[in-house]
C-alpha cells in the first residue's frame, strides 16, 4: 500500500507519513540528547578550558554521530532490532549481560537526576510567588517530585509507542531554545558585572578528561537509538543517517551556544548546575528555571522507554502485555521517585555514571560490535576509526575514573553566590 491511515482515519500519502516520522524522530532524538546534561556543559568548559572544551565538545559530537550510525549498521549486519540483540549476536550472553547492566543503569540514574533537578529547579521558581516561603508546601522538594510524577512523567511514560512522544519532545525543544536565549541575554547583561577569575581564558586545564565524561553524559543517546530508528517510516539506513546528522548537528549548535554563554558569564565560578550561579532575585533566570523544569519532565519518559525495553528484552524475552506494560512502568517510575525522594544530591554517582556508563555506550560497544560483525580486515580504512574509538574510550574511562576518585565533585544546593549581594549585580537583574 502507498497510503496509511492517520489518527482520524483519513488516508495520508506514504511520503507524508515518512516525512512526519522523520520530523518526530528528530524531535525525540534532540530531546534525548538535550536533557539535564546540557546544564553541566558550561562547567565542563570550566574544567577543560574554553578553547579545548569547545574542541572536545565537537569531538564528542562527531563520535556520537559516527557511532550511532555504526550501531544501526551493526544491527543490519546481525539483523538485530535492539541494542541488546546486537551485542548478543556479537559477543554472546556475557556481552548481553554487560550491555543490559549499562543500558539499564545509565537511563535509570538519569531519571533519578531528572527528578532531583526538577525538584531543585521548580522549588526555587515557586518561592518567587508572593506568600510562598521556604516552609510552604510548594517549596517542599518531595511534594514537587510526587506531583510532577503523578501528573506528568508517569502518564507520559505509560505510552507504548515512542512515536507519540513527538509532541512532548517538540515542546521540550522550544523550552530549551527559550532557556538558551535567556543564557545569552544574561551573558550580555550579567557577565560584565561578575568579577573575573584568574586564567579564565586559558587554552587547556588539567581536568579535561573529566570534562569529556560530562560531555559524553550530555550527548549519550545510543541506548534509545533502536527505539527511535524503529519509529521511522520506513526504517532505512539512509533515513537514519539523515536523522542522525540533523539531530546531532542541531544538538551540537545548541550545546555549544549554551556552554559558551554560560561559561562566558561566570568563568571560574561556573557551577555543575548553571542555574545555581544565577541569583534568586533574578526574574529572567527564574523563568529559565521554570522552562528547564518543564523540559526535564518531558525528557523523563524517553529514558523510561529504554529501561522498560531492557527489562522486556533481557528478563521477559518478549513483548509485554498491556497489564505487564503498566505494572513494569509503574514499578520503574516508583523506584526512581523513591530514590529521588530520599536523596537530594547524587554528586559523585552522576560523575561516575558519565565515565563508567556513558563512555562505553558511546565509544566502545558500538565500535566493538561493528568490528566483530564486519567481514573487512582489521587494517581496512573503515575499521581503523572504530579501533581508535575503542582505545580512546578505554583511556577516558580509566583516566576519568582515576581523576573522579582523586578529585570528587562537591554538592551544593541553594547556596547564594557571593556576587548576588553586590548592588551592581542586583541592578542588572531588574524584573523583565
Please determine, for residue 415, whether its predicted confidence score (pLDDT) is greater than 90.
Answer: no
Q: What are the structural domains of the chain?
A: 23-409 (1.20.1740.10)
* pTM (whole model) above 0.85: no
Q: What distance in Å separates the CA atoms of residue 86 and residue 307, rounded to the nearest whole number?
A: 17
CB 285 within 8 A of CB 278: yes
Please determine, for residue 14, whether its predicted confidence score (pLDDT) is greater than 70.
Answer: no
Q: What is the pLDDT at residue 183? A: 92
Please determine, for residue 8, whether its predicted confidence score (pLDDT) is greater than 60.
Answer: no
Cα three-residue angle 161-219-57, rounded to 5 degrees: 155
Q: What distance in Å separates the CA atoms of residue 73 and residue 79, rounded to the nearest whole number?
A: 9
CB 175 within 8 A of CB 292: yes
pLDDT digit string (tens) for 151-190? 989 998 988 776 667 677 778 778 888 999 999 999 999 9
Q: What is the pLDDT at residue 170? A: 77
CB 414 within 8 A of CB 218: no
Please determine, for residue 3, whether its predicted confidence score (pLDDT) is greater than 50.
Answer: no
Half-sphere exposure of 84 (CA within 13 A, CB side): 22
428 against 122, higher pLDDT: 122
Q: What distance in Å separates the CA atoms of residue 44 and residue 216, rounded to the nearest whole number?
A: 11
Amino acid at each position: 500500500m502507498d497510503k496509511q491511515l492517520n489518527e482520524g482515519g483519513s488516508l495520508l500519502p506514504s511520503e507524508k507519513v515518512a516525512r512526519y516520522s522523520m520530523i518526530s524522530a528528530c524531535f525525540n532524538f534532540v530531546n534525548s540528547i538535550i536533557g539535564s546534561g546540557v546544564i553541566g556543559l558550561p562547567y565542563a568548559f570550566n574544567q577543560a578550558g574554553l578553547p579545548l572544551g569547545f574542541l572536545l565538545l565537537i569531538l564528542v559530537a562527531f563520535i556520537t554521530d559516527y557511532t550511532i550510525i555504526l550501531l544501526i549498521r551493526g544491527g543490519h549486519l546481525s539483523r538485530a532490532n535492539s541494542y541488546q540483540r546486537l551485542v548478543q549476536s556479537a559477543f554472546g550472553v556475557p556481552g548481553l549481560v554487560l550491555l543490559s547492566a549499562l543500558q539499564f543503569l545509565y537511563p535509570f540514574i538519569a531519571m533519578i537526576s531528572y527528578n532531583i533537578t526538577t525538584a531543585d529547579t521548580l522549588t526555587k521558581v515557586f518561592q518567587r510567588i508572593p506568600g510562598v516561603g521556604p516552609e510552604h508546601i510548594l517549596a517542599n522538594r518531595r511534594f514537587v517530585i510526587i506531583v510532577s510524577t503523578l501528573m506528568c512523567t508517569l502518564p507520559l511514560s505509560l505510552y507504548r509507542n515512542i512515536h507519540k512522544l513527538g509532541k512532548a519532545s517538540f515542546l521540550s525543544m522550544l523550552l530549551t531554545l527559550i532557556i538558551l536565549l535567556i543564557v545569552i541575554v544574561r551573558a550580555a547583561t550579567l557577565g560584565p558585572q561578575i568579577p573575573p577569575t584568574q586564567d579564565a581564558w586559558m587554552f587547556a586545564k588539567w581536568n579535561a578528561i573529566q570534562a569529556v565524561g560530562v560531555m559524553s553524559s550530555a550527548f549519550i543517546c545510543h541506548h534509545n537509538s533502536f527505539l527511535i530508528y524503529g519509529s521511522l517510516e520506513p526504517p532505512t539506513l539512509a533515513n537514519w543517517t539523515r536523522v542522525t546528522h540533523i539531530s546531532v548537528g542541531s544538538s551540537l549548535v545548541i550545546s555549544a551556544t549554551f556552554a559558551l554563554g554560560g561559561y562566558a558569564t561566570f568563568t571560574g565560578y561556573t557551577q555543575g548546575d548553571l542555574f545555581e550561579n544565577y541569583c534568586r532575585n533574578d526574574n529572567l533566570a527564574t523563568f529559565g528555571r521554570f522552562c528547564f523544569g518543564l523540559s526535564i519532565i518531558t525528557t523523563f519518559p524517553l529514558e523510561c522507554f529504554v529501561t522498560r525495553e531492557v527489562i522486556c528484552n533481557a528478563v521477559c524475552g518478549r513483548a509485554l502485555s498491556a497489564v505487564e506494560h503498566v505494572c513494569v512502568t509503574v514499578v520503574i517510575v516508583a523506584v526512581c521517585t523513591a530514590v529521588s525522594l530520599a536523596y537530594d544530591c547524587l554528586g559523585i554517582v552522576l560523575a561516575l555514571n558519565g565515565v563508567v556508563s556513558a563512555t562505553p555506550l558511546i565509544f566502545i560497544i558500538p565500535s566493538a560490535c561493528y568490528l566483530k560483525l564486519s567481514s573487512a580486515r582489521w587494517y581496512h580504512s573503515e575499521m581503523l576509526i572504530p579501533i581508535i574509538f575503542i582505545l580512546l574510550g578505554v583511556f577516558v574511562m580509566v583516566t576519568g575514573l582515576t581523576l573522579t576518585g582523586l578529585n570528587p565533585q562537591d554538592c551544593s544546593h541553594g547556596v547564594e553566590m557571593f556576587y548576588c549581594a553586590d548592588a551592581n549585580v542586583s541592578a542588572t537583574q531588574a524584573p523583565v
